[in-house]
Structure 1
Amino acid sequence: MNRAIWEHAGATGPVVDLVDTELAQQGRVRTGPPELVRRWSISTVLLVPTDQGPVWFKAVPPVFAHEGALARWVASVQPRHAAPVLGSGPGWLLTEGLPEGDRDGTGLQEGPLAAAVRVQRASIGRSAELIALGCPERSTARITADLELLVDRTDLLGGPDAQRLAVALPELTRLLEEADGDGTPTVLVHGDIQEENALWTGRSWALIDWTDAALTHPFAELARPLMQATASQRARAEAEFAQAWADVLSPRTVSRALRLAPVLGAAHQVGNYFRIVEAVGATDGLDALLKEWVRRLLAAAARTAPRPARGLM
């Protein structure tokens, strides 16, 4: 079923039948043909008109087959930060359309990272439950293992980047091990918080597109939203995270996690894109994104590593 839905996700045949069946169970009727909004190597997205407002259908390849179950779980634990799920199955998801509020309104007092932190906090101690749903587990040890594999993949990185990664690997391993201490819980991280995946509804932020989600270190979440952040945006995000975890982690642990966040986040993204490229191929610029995150990881490690002491002149 998963492969069939993915292969027929261009708005005809089995997909339309599936959508109609799911809508009927909700007491709704499709009022027109689905509109193809996007189709590329990792998803097909359709906008479906119904008698009670539009709904969204998404189909994904087998590597993301768990997204529907994961989105349903998020909606169950943090409903104000998720789109209501109307139906889901291996490789597909049907969600309610959400209203879009004015982002310049006075009610907009926090960013989407605050919503992500609430989802993270709700996932503490529930890793086994999420793994059972198919959520990938990306511990720092697993990320290190992926980096070791990637060093030999000159077909993906090219020789110079692979060589630089090999040289940096011992220091990267040390930094990741340093981050993985003092009882920091493994949590559900969205992994791709950006403007397209965060919708302000007028009263809260709703997070969509959980294809990149994984169980990992909470501060890995900072990587994507801080890629092009201003100094004030970075300070705000770091403050939100520090405050959110102050009652769980010691000030020393929070400070260290913030210092190591660029390495944690970039390493997580490298492992994620490595997994995606291996599953769907180096298409649609995915290989370029993998290389970009490798370079970001190397730069973050260079900034984070302690500088050697200067000798007497």
Structure 2
Amino acid sequence: MQHALGVPVLVLRLLTVDGGQGARDGHVTYHVEALGPPRPSVCRHESADQGLLTGDDPLRSPWARSDGLRELLDWASRTLLALGRPVTGSVEQRRTWNLAGLFRLPTESGPVWLKATPHFAADEAAVIAAFAEVDPGLVPVVLGSGEGRMLLEHIPGEDCWDADAATVEAGVRRFVAAQAALAGRGPHGLRDRRDRVLAGLVRELLDNTTDLYISAQERAAARELTYRWDRLAECGLPDTVVHADFHPGNWRGDGGPPVVVDFADAHWGNPVLDCLRLYDFLPEPVRATAVRAWVDAWKAHVPASDPARALASAEPLAHLAYAVRYQEFLDGIEASERPYHEGDPVAVIRAALRRAGSPGIDLLEVAG
């Protein structure tokens, strides 16, 4: 977009999407703010719904407004200046949508990351502080924070999408150790998603959400699945701080144990969800490594628990938990940005039903 207009721009929000499917493809129109006069040769005037541009929405993210974005960047600059690390160049906008605004700020001693999150996100700074108390190297360094915003020190390395077995094992064992240490003492204000609470939230979603377009048979089958949470609670894993989006793209590493980032979905509950999320995103050759490491680590920290049984019980339940979270996304964002998440609750409910009727994770892998 910057290349097209010939001047730096900041994307504020999504306006419309024509075509595409599953938050991909299609013809997309964004509301952007140019930081200078665009080249006249690239400007083309077309009719547009002025209400999309000038209207307000109580659910609009602060960084999706011109004044809110400038206030956010000004706060970041002031905070870094007070720390003796003034911003030395142009801010680079890396991602903006209804779940986060992510910006890279240059300083003389290296880049700093500014992240803004919506009202329905966890207090990431508080969650990171809790993990830092038990293992400082596990999480990024927070340089400053405020409501729905924080400044993070840059983490060298790369995202761990292609993590090898050694990285996966190190990451899993380290994170489980921290979760075991935090059992019983999570940060104040963390969302309660313990087993029985989650079961109740799923039933409420199934019973009361009018735009949940699934059949009566699917609804009844999903509701019946919620009673498996009673079985899961019997597996003896402690309630602790759950990342809830523990996939390898939220790990960063440079050869050693990875650093874990993005705690916006964190909650208080059963840690089995993190292993299942990781399993779904890992390359096939290292999935068994992740499962074995997770089972062995929890068995070592809580000998009376049965983590392997927890995995088998929870596999379909994890998708029902995602349905609750995805509905929270839809309920918390303005209408023009719903295409990012429309259909997600239905998709994961159906995934839960498919998983419930399949063998699930091969626990022979664990024993092997």
Q: Give the aligned length.
A: 297
Residues 10 and 267 of structure 1: CA distance in aligned 2, closer, same or farther (over 3 Å) = farther
Identity of aligned residues (%): 27
* Alpha-carbon distance between aligned partners in 2 of 1:243 and 1:9, rounded to the nearest angstrom: 50
- Provide the aligned C-alpha RMSD in A: 2.9
2:230 to 153, 174, 177: 177
Residues 287 and 106 of structure 1: CA distance in aligned 2, closer, same or farther (over 3 Å) = closer
Question: 1:99 aligns to what?
Answer: 156
Question: 2:300 aligns to what?
Answer: 247
* Alpha-carbon distance between aligned partners in 2 of 1:240 and 1:106, rounded to the nearest angstrom: 10
* Alpha-carbon distance between aligned partners in 2 of 1:4 and 1:303, rounded to the nearest angstrom: 40
Question: 1:167 aligns to what?
Answer: 221
Stretches of structure 1 lacking an aligned partner (at least 5 in a row): 306-313
Q: Do residues 150 (structure 1) and 214 (structure 2) align?
A: no
SS of corresponding position for 2:169: coil
Q: Do residues 120 (structure 1) and 189 (structure 2) align?
A: no
Displacement of 1:71: 2.4
Displacement of 1:53: 0.6
Residues 226 and 106 of structure 1: CA distance in aligned 2, closer, same or farther (over 3 Å) = closer
* Alpha-carbon distance between aligned partners in 1 of 2:359 and 2:293, rounded to the nearest angstrom: 21
Relative to structure 2, which stretch is displaced further, 70-79 or 226-235? 226-235
Displacement of 1:104: 7.9
* Alpha-carbon distance between aligned partners in 1 of 2:254 and 2:329, rounded to the nearest angstrom: 30
Displacement of 1:284: 4.2
Residues 71 and 250 of structure 1: CA distance in aligned 2, closer, same or farther (over 3 Å) = closer
Residues 167 and 204 of structure 1: CA distance in aligned 2, closer, same or farther (over 3 Å) = closer
Residues 230 and 271 of structure 1: CA distance in aligned 2, closer, same or farther (over 3 Å) = same
Question: 1:308 aligns to what?
Answer: none
Contact kept, 8 Å, 1:70 with 1:210, in 2: the verdict is yes
* Alpha-carbon distance between aligned partners in 2 of 1:250 and 1:9, rounded to the nearest angstrom: 54
Contact kept, 8 Å, 1:100 with 1:201, in 2: the verdict is yes
| Partner AA of 1:216 in structure 2 | G
User: With structure 2 as the length reference, what TM-score do the two structures score?
Assistant: 0.72
* Alpha-carbon distance between aligned partners in 1 of 2:66 and 2:302, rounded to the nearest angstrom: 44
SS of corresponding position for 1:215: strand
Correspondence 1:1-313 to 2 at 5 A: 5-8=62-65, 12-64=69-121, 66-100=123-157, 108=167, 110=169, 112-127=171-186, 130=187, 132=188, 134-153=189-208, 155-160=210-215, 163-170=217-224, 172-181=225-234, 183-229=236-282, 232-250=285-303, 253-280=306-333, 283-303=338-358
Displacement of 1:252: 6.6
Stretches of structure 2 lacking an aligned partner (at least 5 in a row): 1-59, 361-368
Displacement of 1:52: 0.9
| Partner AA of 1:77 in structure 2 | V
Displacement of 1:109: 6.8
Contact kept, 8 Å, 2:237 with 2:270, in 1: the verdict is yes
Displacement of 1:55: 0.5
* Alpha-carbon distance between aligned partners in 1 of 2:326 and 2:304, rounded to the nearest angstrom: 32
1:7-62 Cα deviation digits (max 9, x unpaired): 55889531222112211232211001211111111111111111111010011111
* Alpha-carbon distance between aligned partners in 1 of 2:144 and 2:101, rounded to the nearest angstrom: 16
Residues 234 and 45 of structure 1: CA distance in aligned 2, closer, same or farther (over 3 Å) = same
User: With structure 1 as the length reference, what TM-score do the two structures score?
Assistant: 0.83
Larger radius of gyration: 2
